[in-house]
Amino acid sequence: MFGANRFKGSSLAKAGLSGICLVFAFAACATHAHAPMATQRVTPEWTRAGGAHPNFQSNAYLTAAGQGNSRQAAEMAAFRSLVTIFGVDIQTDTRMSEWYRSAGGVSAQGLDFGSEIVMGAGMDNLIGAEVGEVWDNGRGTHYALVVMNRARATRIYADLIGANQALIANLTTFPTPADRYTIGGFSRYQFASVVADMNTGYAAVLSTLGAPQYAQGLRTGDDFRLEMQRIANAIPIGINVSADRAGRLQGAFASAFTEFGFRTGGANQRYVLQVNVVLQPTEHAGRNVFARMELSANLVDTHTGAVLLPYTFNVREGHTVLSEAENRTFIVAERRINDEYRTLLANHLAQLIPR
């Protein structure tokens, strides 16, 4: 694999709730179609020099080369080689990218630099990067050279940081101090941490481009995550289960909240999860008797009385003994809460982001 032309960059800070890898891929418009195909059989020097090319001097361009068994494979290998300069992979949740766009996240299409942002898993292009030259050796191996104009990329990344800074300011500004210490305030800081992590990556790119002055004074994602935890600690959440057994259901619900850093129990609860459980025997089937559980759980804002997050399901389990059938319904219900409620809560937090 070819390396980048004499440049090494910082790795992007990793952000996110889950481990899915999402790369913000940046591809210049019409980059692939216009790259000339070299027809000479003499091997170009740039294929051996890691992308160094006399037409693209290092003070004005970043360059990288790649090879593959097709032109497309060679171009993608070259883009990947260029990506390694910056380390712009962002560990995040696909839901986070949707939040970013719906909340007014900047698009490079609006920056009038002839580039577009393509968001998708596994893409490895960069803003302002394009294929400068391709060559094949006549024996099935293709080579590609990609180039990035430093000045144009600097303008784009500086504008991306500026737009993200405006978004962060909007997310962390509240009508009253009390509005900060709510689930909605927690959610806004959670998203601000993701945007701040993006800026950390953009700052690394600018540093490698030789323009770190455009990314001075940025707060890190960890700054906002620290405030998230302060908010979570200030708004304990009550969990009331009408007919639990050995605290199974309460524990399952509590684990979903504690994964986000919320405390459960305590006094002066702003939010209460009211869980109603109805358990009763149902029909017999041969030697077995069945128990059916109907569960409803409503997250309530105690200040307004509004139900923020309704959740319902029913399960049925059987056994030759009714008590064991009932025990099995609790086991299945506990497992289902563990499997479902955290995702439901995460989706609810997503809906609280201002559009």
* Side-chain half-sphere exposure of 111, counting CA atoms within 13 A: 24
Residues 263 and 185 in one domain: no
In this structure, the answer to whether residues 99 and 154 fall within a common structural domain is yes
Do 225 and 259 lie in a common domain? no
Distance, CA of 221 to CA of 218 (rounded, Å): 10
Structurally, the chain folds into a number of domains equal to 2
Q: Are 207 and 10 in contact (CB under 8 A)?
A: yes
Range(s) of the domain holding residue 174: 21-229
3-state class of 266 per DSSP? Answer: coil
> CB neighbours of 30 closer than 8 A, spacing ≥ 6?
none
* Confidence at residue 115, expressed as pLDDT on a 0 to 100 scale: 30
Do 205 and 272 belong to one domain? no
- Consecutive sets of 10 residues in the chain, 355 residues long: mean pLDDT of each? 38 28 33 49 83 84 91 88 67 50 46 30 52 91 91 88 92 93 94 88 85 91 94 93 94 95 88 96 82 96 95 94 93 97 92 80
Q: 88-146, pLDDT tens digit by residue?
A: 554 444 455 555 555 545 443 333 322 333 332 223 236 778 888 999 988 999 999 99
CA 117, CA 127: separation in Å to the nearest integer? 7
Supply the pTM of this predicted model.
0.73
| Residue that terminates a domain, selected from 229, 250, 270 | 229
- Residue owning tokens 């952000």: 15
CA gap 250, 55 in Å, rounded: 67
Asked if residue 15 belongs to a domain, the reply is no
